Every structure is written in C-alpha cells, then in structure tokens.
Structure 1
Amino acid sequence: MRSIGLKKTIASIDVDTQNGFTPLCPTELPVPDGEQVVAELNQQATFAQYRVGTKDAHPANADWVSTQDAPVLSPIVGRNMDLRWPVHCVPGTKGFELVKGLPHVSQYDFFVYKGVEPDMHPYGGCYHDFAEKVSTGLIEFLRCKEVKTVLVGGLATDYCVKYTVLQLLAAGFETIVNLGACRGISPQTTQDAIKEMKAQGAIIIESSRELRQFDQLSEVIHG
C-alpha cells in the first residue's frame, strides 16, 4: 500500500458531471447511470484540500452538431473538433446544469468552462484546443496550490475523463482515477480508455474506499 501524501497536496476533480451526460436529458448525450456518480464524487472530495470542476458550455449552433446526413460519431474536419455530437450542455438549459447533489459552482475552488467556441470541441479539462497550447488555467491553478495528486471522476470515462487524465499525467501530476465516480458511453470504449490511462501511469481504483486505505497510511507516515 502506498500513501497519496498530505491532504493539502491533493485535489479532486469533477469532470463534466452535467445533466446533459445523464438519462435525465435523453436527447443529449445520456451516459448510462451517469447520474449515479454523485455520492462517489462527494466522498472522494473529502480526501482533498481542493475541489475543482469542469463543464461543457456549448453553443446550440456549434459546427460539430450532428444532422440526419452527418450522424453522431461521424468524423468532421477541423483543427479543434473531430466528431459529430448531438446538441448538449447548452448554457441556460437543464443539460448544462450540474447533477443534483453536487456543490454549486461557486463552492468549487476552481472551475473550467470548455467548448464555448462553435468550432472547438475539446474533451480534456486542461486545454481549450487539440494542440494543447491554450490553457484553461487548471494546470496552473494546481501548480500554484502545490498540488501533487489529483483524484478524478466524472463523465464520460471514455472521452472527457480520459483526456483530462492524460493531460494531468503529461503535466506531471500523480493521477488517480476513481471508477466508482465515473461512467462510460460504451463498455468497449470504456475498457480501452482505462487501459490507455493505466498505460500512461494513472492509478486506477474501484471506489473511494481504497482512498481511505491510502489516507490511513498517510496519517501514520506524516503523523
């Protein structure tokens, strides 16, 4: 068993845990059981000094919106968009809102809104663009607070969670993915995402109960 360090060096991130990614909004991008991650996200946050979050904030007329002739997941050419998606998470709609039971946005220590531009559809929470040159400020916030470890949960495992995790790993953070706080779009792409994150150095856990074991060991070590 290993320690994840002092609480003051830990951040917990809720990735895109919005109604638009749950069955509560069936015409958007409903991830199966997406609304059921709230308890685990709240639990993992108790192990962290900082709680951060991300939201998709897409315009309804985005260039990547799917149509009858260009269905969901069909490719689209663009510098910062790659696939077609249904309209989802439009500010001012139910789909944009965080799932009930999560804190109000104002209660987070840092918050990211992404995908605002109609020709940009980023997945990860750390950059606005695919080239990863335009920062959202998340990495800088974590470094400013001297965070070493990030606990990650949210929606969906195989897209926005995966890319956020890969970006955090590339930035040098120890990154723990809590599968109990995540849900994926499909079983196959979710398993592929887990393998990819693990191959890049992510620590994969099944629930926040495992964090309790880390935490207990940390208390022994650091007194």
Structure 2
Amino acid sequence: MNRFNQNNTAVFDVDAQYTFTQECPDELPVEGGTEIVKALNEQAMFAAIRVGSKDAHSPRAVWVANEEKPMFSPVEGDDVDIAWNLHAVPGTKGFELIEGLPKPVEYDFFVWKGIELDLHPYGACYHDLADKMSTGVIEYLKHNNIENVIVGGLATDYCVKTTALQLNRAGFRVIVNLEACRGITQETVNSAIVEMKKAGVEIVTETKALKQYELKA
C-alpha cells in the first residue's frame, strides 16, 4: 500500500452548507446532509491543512429556476448548464456552514464560488466550467507541499465528484471519504464513484479506514 504522511496531506470540506440539507427544503436538500460534520472533523485530524468551499449565489443569477425554466432545464451560457433552485444566497441560512464545522476564517484556505451571475461551477478548484480560471486552492496546496487530499462534503455526485476530479488532474493523490459525504440519489452516487475510480481517485466508505494509510506526523 502506498502510504503517506500527515505533513503532506490536506482535507477539503466541499460545500458543507445548510443549503444542501433538509434544513432548507426549498433549496437543494440532500438526505442526511447534516450528518457529515462528525466525519469531516474526524478526517481533519489526519491532515496538516484544512481547506473548504461554499456556494455563494445571487437571486439574479441566470440559472435560477422558475415556472418558465424549471430545474434541470438547459440554460445557455459558457459557464452555466442547467437551471437549479435558488440556493446558498449570502445572508441566508442556506449559505451558512453546518453547525459544528469551523468558521470560514478558521480554515487554512477557503473558496467562495458561483458569485458572478453567469457562473455556476461545481468543482471548487476553478470558477468556470472549462477549468481555466483557478480559485487558487490548487496553487495554495502545492505551495504548501501537499501531495494528498482527503475530500468530503455535499453533494457526492456533483460538487464533491467534480472537485475530486479536478484535484486528481492537478496531480494530487485524492481520497474521497463517503462517510463524510452525502449524495442526491444512489444511482448518481454510484455513477460518480465509478467515474472517480476510473480517473484514479481512491474511495473509502468510512473514516476509520483512513487509518490504514498510517497518516503519521
């Protein structure tokens, strides 16, 4: 087994916000979304650096669903694809990280994404869908000699998957901890797992499995 050291390992909390939980039923609720906090905090103990991200969207965004443009319908634009319910608006409960997680300023690095009206990225490493405009997190991790990234958050089949694949393409060893994630449907989660594994992302089903890597300082 290819083991690694805590000193060159980071954890990434992807969009662990109330907007993706049943606390915000009119946004994009994911079943069990609030249950990931314990696993996210536990996996952070295996790493030297903790980074995180949030969706941050305007009510005026071009992709906001309405009666004429229901959710999942196509939306024209270079950096949008489909309509979504309005979610993660700054100043609302949905925008906030789930209770029990650090505040954004307590992370080592933090990303806010989707602020522009015509941008709706899924991954936290780039602002655009073409993966050209970096959010800076890849550069930050490389500057700090990080080689391995353990990923969790919401939702497994969208933002977690895309972030994991972006990190993988950037040359990091990536491990997705499913105990620290929740997905929208089992079918799309299974598909995401297959896609991630095919790309070389490693998958563990529970946090205690991380001990097998002997992440020691």
Structure 2: distance between partners of 1:212 and 1:143? 24
CA offsets 1:159-198 (integer angstroms, 9 cap, x no match): 0001101100000000000000000011111110110001
Q: Name the aligned partner's letter for residue 188 of structure 2.
A: T
> 1:29: which partner in 2?
28
TM-score normalised by structure 2 residue count: 0.98
Structure 1: distance between partners of 2:185 and 2:198? 20
> 2:143: which partner in 1?
144
CA offsets 1:8-49 (integer angstroms, 9 cap, x no match): 100000000000000010000001111100000000000000
Partner SS, residue 84 of structure 2: coil
Q: How does 1:21-170 map to 2 (within 5 A)?
A: 21-170=20-169
Partner SS, residue 117 of structure 2: coil
Structure 2: distance between partners of 1:211 and 1:187? 23
Deviation at 1:213, TM superposition (A): 2.0
Structure 2: distance between partners of 1:104 and 1:120? 25
Partner SS, residue 182 of structure 1: strand
Structure 2: distance between partners of 1:32 and 1:118? 28
Q: Name the aligned partner's letter for residue 178 of structure 1.
A: N
Deviation at 1:106, TM superposition (A): 1.1
Deviation at 1:108, TM superposition (A): 0.3
Structure 1: distance between partners of 2:194 and 2:161? 10
Deviation at 1:158, TM superposition (A): 0.6
Structure 2: distance between partners of 1:73 and 1:37? 26
Structure 1: distance between partners of 2:63 and 2:40? 30
Structure 2: distance between partners of 1:188 and 1:78? 28
Deviation at 1:6, TM superposition (A): 1.4
Partner SS, residue 29 of structure 1: coil
Deviation at 1:2, TM superposition (A): 3.6
- Over aligned residues, Cα RMSD in angstroms? 1.0
Partner SS, residue 164 of structure 1: helix
Large movers: runs of 4+ above 3 Å: none
Deviation at 1:207, TM superposition (A): 1.1
Percent identity of equivalent pairs: 53
Structure 1: distance between partners of 2:76 and 2:178? 32
The total of aligned residue pairs comes to 217
Deviation at 1:73, TM superposition (A): 1.0
CA offsets 1:112-155 (integer angstroms, 9 cap, x no match): 00000011000000000111111000100000000000000000
Structure 1: where are the runs of 5+ without partners?
none
Structure 1: distance between partners of 2:27 and 2:140? 31
Structure 2: distance between partners of 1:83 and 1:189? 16
Partner SS, residue 46 of structure 1: helix
Partner SS, residue 209 of structure 2: helix
Structure 2: distance between partners of 1:82 and 1:107? 33
Structure 2: distance between partners of 1:135 and 1:203? 24
Structure 1: distance between partners of 2:2 and 2:143? 25
